[in-house]
Protein backbone atom coordinates (compact mmCIF):
# COMPACT_ATOMS: atom_id res chain seq x y z
CA UNK A 1 0.00 0.00 0.00
CA UNK A 2 1.37 3.44 -0.92
CA UNK A 3 2.17 5.88 1.91
CA UNK A 4 -0.44 8.39 0.76
CA UNK A 5 -3.16 5.77 1.13
CA UNK A 6 -2.34 4.57 4.65
CA UNK A 7 -4.82 5.69 7.31
CA UNK A 8 -3.45 8.39 9.59
CA UNK A 9 -0.74 9.34 7.09
CA UNK A 10 -2.86 11.78 5.12
CA UNK A 11 -1.85 15.36 4.54
CA UNK A 12 -4.39 18.05 5.44
CA UNK A 13 -6.14 19.49 2.38
CA UNK A 14 -4.61 22.74 1.17
CA UNK A 15 -6.78 25.84 1.14
CA UNK A 16 -6.74 27.79 -2.09
CA UNK A 17 -6.74 31.54 -1.47
CA UNK A 18 -8.64 33.77 -1.83
CA UNK A 19 -11.67 31.92 -0.50
CA UNK A 20 -14.74 32.35 1.69
CA UNK A 21 -13.69 31.40 5.20
CA UNK A 22 -16.14 31.04 8.12
CA UNK A 23 -14.91 31.95 11.61
CA UNK A 24 -16.76 31.31 14.86
CA UNK A 25 -15.91 33.45 17.89
CA UNK A 26 -17.45 32.54 21.25
CA UNK A 27 -17.17 34.82 24.26
CA UNK A 28 -18.80 36.34 27.29
CA UNK A 29 -21.74 38.59 26.44
CA UNK A 30 -20.22 41.78 27.83
CA UNK A 31 -20.95 45.37 26.83
CA UNK A 32 -19.20 46.08 23.54
CA UNK A 33 -18.10 42.46 22.92
CA UNK A 34 -19.88 42.20 19.56
CA UNK A 35 -18.50 45.52 18.29
CA UNK A 36 -14.96 44.75 19.47
CA UNK A 37 -14.94 41.37 17.72
CA UNK A 38 -16.30 42.79 14.45
CA UNK A 39 -13.76 45.65 14.57
CA UNK A 40 -10.86 43.18 14.88
CA UNK A 41 -12.21 41.01 12.05
CA UNK A 42 -12.65 44.06 9.79
CA UNK A 43 -9.12 45.25 10.63
CA UNK A 44 -7.81 42.09 8.95
CA UNK A 45 -10.47 41.38 6.33
CA UNK A 46 -12.04 44.74 5.42
CA UNK A 47 -15.67 45.74 5.81
CA UNK A 48 -17.94 42.74 6.42
CA UNK A 49 -21.45 42.80 4.95
CA UNK A 50 -24.19 42.41 7.56
CA UNK A 51 -25.50 39.24 5.89
CA UNK A 52 -22.11 37.56 6.53
CA UNK A 53 -22.40 38.06 10.30
CA UNK A 54 -24.60 35.87 12.49
CA UNK A 55 -24.92 36.37 16.24
CA UNK A 56 -26.36 33.72 18.54
CA UNK A 57 -26.77 34.20 22.31
CA UNK A 58 -26.43 31.22 24.62
CA UNK A 59 -29.51 29.82 26.30
CA UNK A 60 -28.93 31.86 29.46
CA UNK A 61 -27.65 34.91 27.55
CA UNK A 62 -24.19 34.69 29.22
CA UNK A 63 -22.27 34.02 25.98
CA UNK A 64 -22.44 35.15 22.38
CA UNK A 65 -21.39 33.13 19.37
CA UNK A 66 -20.43 35.36 16.44
CA UNK A 67 -20.14 33.64 13.07
CA UNK A 68 -18.41 35.72 10.41
CA UNK A 69 -17.55 34.73 6.85
CA UNK A 70 -14.58 36.61 5.42
CA UNK A 71 -12.69 36.50 2.17
CA UNK A 72 -9.42 34.97 3.33
CA UNK A 73 -6.37 36.03 1.36
CA UNK A 74 -3.72 33.82 2.95
CA UNK A 75 -2.49 31.85 5.95
CA UNK A 76 -0.68 34.85 7.45
CA UNK A 77 -3.90 36.91 7.43
CA UNK A 78 -5.77 34.12 9.23
CA UNK A 79 -2.98 33.56 11.75
CA UNK A 80 -2.82 37.28 12.65
CA UNK A 81 -6.62 37.55 12.81
CA UNK A 82 -6.89 34.58 15.19
CA UNK A 83 -4.09 35.97 17.39
CA UNK A 84 -5.79 39.39 17.59
CA UNK A 85 -9.17 37.85 18.41
CA UNK A 86 -7.63 35.85 21.25
CA UNK A 87 -6.34 39.09 22.86
CA UNK A 88 -9.92 40.26 23.47
CA UNK A 89 -10.56 39.54 27.14
CA UNK A 90 -14.15 38.32 26.63
CA UNK A 91 -13.24 35.87 23.83
CA UNK A 92 -13.14 32.28 25.07
CA UNK A 93 -12.86 30.31 21.80
CA UNK A 94 -12.03 31.00 18.16
CA UNK A 95 -12.77 28.33 15.56
What are the pLDDT digits (tens) for 31-82? 999 999 999 999 999 999 999 999 999 999 999 999 999 999 999 999 999 9
Asked if residue 63 belongs to a domain, the reply is yes
The rounded distance, in Å, linking the Cα atoms of 66 and 91 is 10
* Residue 84 DSSP one-character state: H
> Residue 52: inside a domain, yes or no?
yes
Radius of gyration of the chain (CA): 16
CA angle 48, 51, 53 (to 5 degrees): 60
Domain assignment of residue 9, yes or no: no
Whether the predicted pLDDT of 4 surpasses 60: no
What tens digit of pLDDT does each residue of 14-35 get?
889 999 999 999 999 999 999 9
Q: What is the pLDDT at residue 15?
A: 85
Asked if residue 76 belongs to a domain, the reply is yes
User: Is residue 7 a part of any domain in this protein?
Assistant: no
For position 83, which CATH number holds? 3.30.70.260
Q: 69: which strand partners?
A: 22
- The domain total for the chain is 1
The span from the CA of 33 to the CA of 35, in Å, is: 6
79 in a domain, yes or no? yes
Which residue segment(s) compose the domain that 80 sits in? 17-94
Amino acid sequence: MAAEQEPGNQEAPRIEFPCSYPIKIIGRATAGYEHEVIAVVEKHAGKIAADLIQIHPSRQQNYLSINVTITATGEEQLRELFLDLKTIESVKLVL
